[in-house]
């Protein structure tokens, strides 16, 4: 059995998550992982046998809190979650308003849009309230997080169709061009500011004992760049699909 096999992924992820929740730095977490790897290799034991459950072992470590740089990965903060929620609304608005702008028509927002927005706000509130639990699901039980996400999305879609059927005449008209411009700015400006400030390069990464810290840092920067520009890219795809579908329907 190799040293990497003595530290199962589930045990490692649980240790990292528990220490990250205490805001322990990536360097200290890496040192803790190195100690566990070294001990297991010398003793011929696996991590759970030698140190017990990862959560209990993490609680026994007296490590300082206060990571010097932002924590990367799936450990979302409430502010970041709010930003992505606003971004997803902007993605939807860009997609809906782009076709109306191309036709020189105002955008009509009806009861279906209101119902979907209400469901989205309720889901956001639940996420904020149970953020730590959801983050753990994303990392250790991704299938549970996927089911919860899909359930919320389909509930929103179902209520949207129901509202459109029951209240077809309810709605407001909004100028398409200003709405498209504002939604696009909401998507692009935060990503551009993060890129120009260089905040994508200073994440506090965790490098395991058998990993090259420089390589881990490069992967983290690529992941951060992709995440930062994910919403603008989604907005571009949304607008392109909407315009393409509109052209097909009109043709």
Q: Return the pLDDT at 185.
A: 92
Share of the chain above pLDDT 90, in %: 2
Q: Return the pLDDT at 249.
A: 72
- Which string of DSSP letters, residue by residue, matches the chain? --TTTTS-HHHHHHHHHHHHHTTB-HHHHHHHHHHHHHHHHHHT--HHHHH--HHHHHHH----B--SS---TT---HHHHHHHHHHHHHHHHHHHHHHHHHTT-PEEEEHHHHHHHHHHHHHHHHHHHTHHHHHHHHHH-HHHHHHHHHHHHHHHHHHHHHHHHH-TT-EEEE-HHHHHHHHHHHHHHHHHHHHHHTTTS-------TTS-HHHHHHHHHHHHHHHHTHHHHHHHHHHHHHHHHHHHHH-
pLDDT of residue 91 exceeding 80: yes
pLDDT of residue 206 exceeding 70: no
Residue 45 — φ and ψ, nearest 5°?
-115, 160
Domain boundaries, the chain: 9-60, 78-250
Cβ-defined contacts of 166-170 (< 8 Å, 24+): 166/111, 167/110, 167/111, 168/110, 168/111, 170/110, 170/111, 170/114
- Render pLDDT for 48-72 as a digit per residue (tens, 0 to 9): 888 888 888 888 888 776 555 444 4
Share of the chain above pLDDT 70, in %: 76
Give the tokens for residue 103: 């036709």
pTM comes to 0.57
pLDDT of residue 74 exceeding 80: no
Which has more confidence, 42 or 143? 42
- Render pLDDT for 158-168 as a digit per residue (tens, 0 to 9): 777 777 677 77
Among 40-44, 118-122, 228-232, the minimum mean pLDDT is found in 118-122
Q: Return the pLDDT at 214.
A: 66
Q: Return the pLDDT at 199.
A: 57
- Render pLDDT for 26-42 as a digit per residue (tens, 0 to 9): 778 888 888 888 888 88
């Amino acid at each position: 059995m190799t040293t990497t096999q003595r530290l199962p992924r589930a045990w490692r992820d649980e240790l990292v998550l528990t220490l990250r929740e205490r805001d322990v730095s990536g360097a200290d977490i890496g040192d803790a992982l190195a100690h566990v790897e070294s001990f297991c290799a010398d003793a011929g034991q696996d991590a759970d046998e030698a140190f017990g459950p990862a959560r209990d072992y993490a609680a026994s470590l007296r490590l300082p809190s206060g990571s010097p740089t932002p924590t990367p990965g799936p450990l979302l903060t409430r502010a970041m979650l709010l930003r992505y929620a606003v971004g997803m609304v902007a993605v939807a608005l860009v997609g809906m308003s782009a076709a109306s702008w191309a036709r020189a028509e105002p955008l009509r927002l009806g009861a279906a849009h209101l119902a979907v927005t209400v469901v989205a706000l309720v889901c956001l509130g639940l996420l904020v309230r149970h953020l730590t639990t959801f983050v753990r699901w994303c990392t250790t039980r991704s299938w549970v997080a996927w089911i919860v996400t899909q359930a919320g999305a389909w509930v929103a879609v179902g209520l949207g169709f129901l509202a459109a059927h029951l209240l077809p005449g309810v709605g407001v008209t909004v100028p398409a061009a200003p709405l498209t411009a504002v939604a696009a700015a909401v998507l692009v400006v935060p990503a551009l500011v993060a890129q120009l400030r260089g905040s994508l390069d200073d994440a506090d990464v965790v490098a395991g004992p058998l990993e090259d810290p420089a390589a881990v840092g490069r992967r983290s920067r690529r992941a951060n760049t992709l995440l930062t520009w994910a919403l603008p890219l989604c907005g571009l795809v949304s607008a392109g699909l909407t315009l393409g579908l509109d052209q097909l329907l009109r043709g």
